[in-house]
Structure 1
Amino acid sequence: MSTARTSAFATAVTRTDTPSQPDLTSHCGRATPIPGCGVLGAATIIGETAGVHRFRSKAAFARFTGTAPIPVWSGNSSRVRLNRGGNRRLNSALHMIAVTQTRGVGPGKAYVERLMAEGKTRTEAVRLLPRRISDVVYRTLKRTDTTASQTSDHKMAMAA
């Protein structure tokens, strides 16, 4: 989905008096049950992904989103650094979901606290969270894509 289509969708969402969740669900299936993912974030994810079938694995999807951490070794410490590559709009949408989950909506807060208990700094823990969210988004989109293809196959069979 281009920026213009995302903006048009956001304008349509703003103009409607009724909740836009059912409208988004009719377009993109089950992308919004991810805690912390709003309507505009889901639209951005779906539009920028342009079909999850393009990615061979969740690791390839994470690389595309720029959430795959890059390992850095220095002496005895093993750390990861920020991946500056990937799709920045998609990375931004995943980051906003991570920030929302870190503040207590969804499993992100528990994940960050567990990593901090293991010795990571808060910055490192929050930096790792979008990768986990990317995996959840990939699974959700993959499930939705499979369901949509089965539905279209069924409709074609019924039409024949």
Structure 2
Amino acid sequence: MREALAGLGNAELLRTCVRFADASSRENTGGELVLQATRITLGLLAHRISQLSEQIREVDARLARLVESHAPQLLDVVGIGPDTAVTLLITVGDNPGRLDSEASFAALCGVSPVERSSGRRQIRRLNRGGDRQTNAALHRIVFTRLRVVRGLL
């Protein structure tokens, strides 16, 4: 069975395993029992993957509608999709009193430099604080924009 499934892509593998669950009504004995149990398990897992994938698509569509209704200008920026926009909106919505400038937003996200002094030397280091989810969202935006710009050059 392993060799038969090894060459399949993800979509074909999922369809094949779903068919295993549908064909599991036969009862086998002996050496075929392990093979049948494996097929049933793969079929059940494939059904669960299909259900979860559908739920993910529904949540993604809802999030996209929410962003379009509350901050459609975010989706116009290259590198910002619905997931990233939702992360930014959550951060801003949770901290409205703390955001009075770009610098305060940068500090909130953990992307601002922090001044450090050791005697006569003044240095800046990366801010290790801030909202890590928003920091990761900004990271994705930057790298997506860099990839798009390099693709245009």
Larger Rg: 2
**TM-score, normalised to structure 1's length?**
0.46
**Which gives a bigger RCO, structure 1 or 2 (Cα 8 Å, sep 6+)?**
1
**TM-score, normalised to structure 2's length?**
0.48
